[in-house]
Amino acid sequence: MLFVKFPILASLVATSTAIDFRWYAQRGCSGHYWQCTNINPDRCCSVGRQDTNSAISWNAIPSDWNILGLGYWQEGCNGTVAGSGQSGGSPDLCFPTPQYRAGRYYFASARSNIQENLAENGEPCQKPDLIVYEDGTDFDLTELTNEQYAQVVSKSPPYDNRNMVF
């Protein structure tokens, strides 16, 4: 009986995993970044209108997942899709050209429902909740007031805003 329950529990854990979505200050997917942590499928993650376009990536993708990532020119996952690609079992999916302001992902096997989901999804976009610098230092954005968050965003990468005082 124990052997029967373990595979069921393992499959439930695998289906509840979410991945990270990142923006990079430079071309390519390296250097310091802003991140939406543990974002679920079909959930938009977006920087604000005042932010510059960036390279983006989806990270910590489970090896048995094949996601379809969509990157958008405009914030809020609105308007034209500027790029798309599949992970194909890779743990990372990078769109290296700095032309994106928002992104989301779907399971590639659910492709037939994507246009329907795009039209129906009325959830607000998630905004970055973490900044990670090249030296590994990170800055949690979740406890900031809207004013503090706007101040950090105005000093967005490539500027070093670790010395900001609130």
Nearest CA to 35 out of 100, 127, 102 is that of 127
Residue 4 lies in a domain: no
Tens-digit pLDDT profile for residues 94-144 = 999 999 999 999 998 875 555 555 544 556 789 999 999 889 899 899 999
42, 46, 82, 109, 157 from 116: Cα distances, Å: 11, 20, 19, 14, 35
Contact (Cβ atoms closer than 8 angstroms) between residue 66 and residue 39: no
Residue 52 lies in a domain: yes
Residue 80 lies in a domain: yes
Domain of residue 25 covers 18-153
Structurally, the chain folds into a number of domains equal to 1
Instruction: Between 15 and 9, name the one with better pLDDT.
Output: 15
Residue 164 lies in a domain: no
Instruction: Between 152 and 144, name the one with better pLDDT.
Output: 144
